[in-house]
């Protein structure tokens, strides 16, 4: 009687350990940020910075370093080493599943910056999401209100656009109002 149960557990373990990650790799393309070197990008030795165009490595490094310093100084210290993939081409962005998005951060696994997002405020925005996942946790962050998650990233990244498309402009406005009441020092306590 115990053997069928053990076989079922073994099959379930194989499914979870082998099949689910393979399927996710092909269907949920942002997951590819976990092993970006498999997607035709060049990475530094620590795989924390990757580019699809080696001629833009210095620019990508400067953008990432400025964003880490900015976020750490103005929002909260980034403890980890965020992995950031900079795609100069749309083909690269498509290989990470960006679609219409300019950039995406997948928890603490990494960030993909698309060709339209090679600007300081975009990279800061995404690294604020990285910091949120460090401070709040990846799963609890899924249950935070959108105005808090996106509003914080838009407001605190110093995004210079006066008017964002909805719902982002509304999220930024709600966050700014909330921030005025609680203060920057308490954004992680509430």
The answer on pLDDT for 188 being more than 60 is: yes
The token duo for 32 is 């590819």
The answer on pLDDT for 25 being more than 80 is: no
Task: Quote the pTM value.
Answer: 0.82
3-state DSSP of 61-81: HHHHHHHHHHHHHHCCCCCCC
State the pLDDT at residue 35.
61
The token duo for 122 is 């975009």
User: Which one, of 144, 153, 189, lies nearest residue 172 by Cα?
Assistant: 153
Q: In Å, what is the CA distance from 89 to each residue of 35, 43, 65, 99?
A: 19, 16, 21, 12
Q: Is residue 112 within 8 Å of 33, Cβ to Cβ?
A: yes
Least confident piece of the model among 9-13, 20-24, 90-94: 20-24
For the residues 30-40, what does the mean pLDDT come to? 65
The answer on pLDDT for 28 being more than 60 is: no
State the pLDDT at residue 39.
73
**pLDDT tens-digit series, residues 59-116:** 999 999 999 999 999 999 999 999 999 999 999 898 888 888 899 998 888 999 999 9
User: Beta partners for 113?
Assistant: 86, 103
The answer on pLDDT for 10 being more than 90 is: no
**pLDDT tens-digit series, residues 163-182:** 988 999 999 999 999 999 99
pLDDT band at 5 (very low <50, low <70, confident <90, very high): low
3-state DSSP of 121-161: HHHHHHHHHHHHHHHHCHHHHHCCCHHHHHHHHHHHCCCCC
**How many CB atoms within 10 Å of residue 88?**
19
**pLDDT tens-digit series, residues 118-162:** 999 999 999 999 999 999 998 999 899 999 999 999 999 999 998
């Amino acid at each position: 009687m115990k053997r069928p149960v053990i076989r079922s557990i073994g099959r379930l373990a194989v499914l979870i350990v082998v099949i689910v990650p393979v399927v996710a790799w092909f269907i949920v393309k942002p997951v590819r940020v976990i092993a970006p070197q498999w997607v035709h990008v060049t990475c530094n030795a620590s795989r924390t910075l990757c580019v699809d165009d080696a001629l833009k490595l210095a620019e990508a490094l400067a953008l990432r370093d400025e964003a880490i310093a900015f976020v750490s100084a103005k929002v909260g210290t980034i403890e980890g080493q965020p992995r950031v993939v900079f795609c100069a081409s749309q083909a690269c962005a498509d290989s990470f599943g960006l679609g219409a998005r300019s950039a995406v951060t997948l928890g603490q696994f990494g960030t993909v910056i698309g060709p339209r997002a090679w600007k300081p405020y975009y990279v800061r925005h995404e690294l604020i999401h990285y910091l949120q996942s460090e401070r709040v946790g990846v799963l609890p962050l899924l249950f935070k209100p959108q105005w808090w998650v996106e509003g914080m990233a838009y407001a605190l990244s110093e995004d210079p656009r006066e008017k964002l498309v909805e719902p982002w402009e509304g999220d930024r406005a709600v966050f700014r109002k909330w921030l005025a009441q609680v203060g920057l020092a308490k954004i992680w306590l509430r």
